[in-house]
Amino acid sequence: DHWLFDTTRATNLPLKSNSGNSASDVGSTYFNSFNNDGFNVGSNGSTNYTGVDFTSWTFRKAKGFFDVVTFSPTEYVSNHRTSHSLGCIPGLILLKNTLRTEDWYVYHRSLGRNKYIRLNQTNGQTASTNAWGTSDPTSTDFGFNTSNLTSGMPSTYVAYLFAGGAATGTGNGS
């Protein structure tokens, strides 16, 4: 499995990017804590096992690079807007319902707001009018069509946002 832990949500409620399952309480045996010099994993063989190599990627929240946000829409709308702190237009958004079993939805700027892919599936892109709202993501927020992509209300989502690079206005050209 591909475990995701973040500082925005509780460390005992990880998600798996290769699964549509909701977050479930695994205690502290998978992951113990974030520290000022990294993190500590627990003793569970899924994240820490003698003689087995593990790989981790760590992304720090930073303007023009990466952000994590959570939000809880309460109604079905075609343009639920959620604020972010990237300071530039997202190039990639990974979106997951943390309370219900539901696919990971992926926005990529090359697909536009009317298409998405599923991170935990092998099928290709899906066309869906206003999948990412009625207007494109901006440097301060992104849209989400709760009418098309949700399996029930109310619910809670986490979004991992990555900057889109120079084409989105990151940097000052110097």
The C-alpha R_g of the chain, in whole angstroms, comes to 17
Looking at the DSSP bridge assignments, the partners of residue 126 are 116
What φ, ψ does residue 93 adopt, rounded to 5°? -130, 125
pTM metric for this prediction = 0.89
Walk along the chain (174 residues) and give the pLDDT tens digit of each residue.
899 999 898 889 999 999 999 998 999 999 989 999 889 999 999 999 999 999 999 999 999 999 999 999 888 888 999 999 999 999 999 999 999 999 999 999 999 999 999 999 999 999 999 999 999 999 999 999 988 766 677 889 999 999 987 644 455 544
Neighbours of 33 (CB within 10 A): 12
Q: How far apart are CA 162 and CA 121, in angstroms?
A: 20
C-alpha pair distances (Å), 45 with each of 22, 31, 98: 21, 11, 23
Q: Which SS3 state, helix, strand or coil, does residue 50 take? A: coil
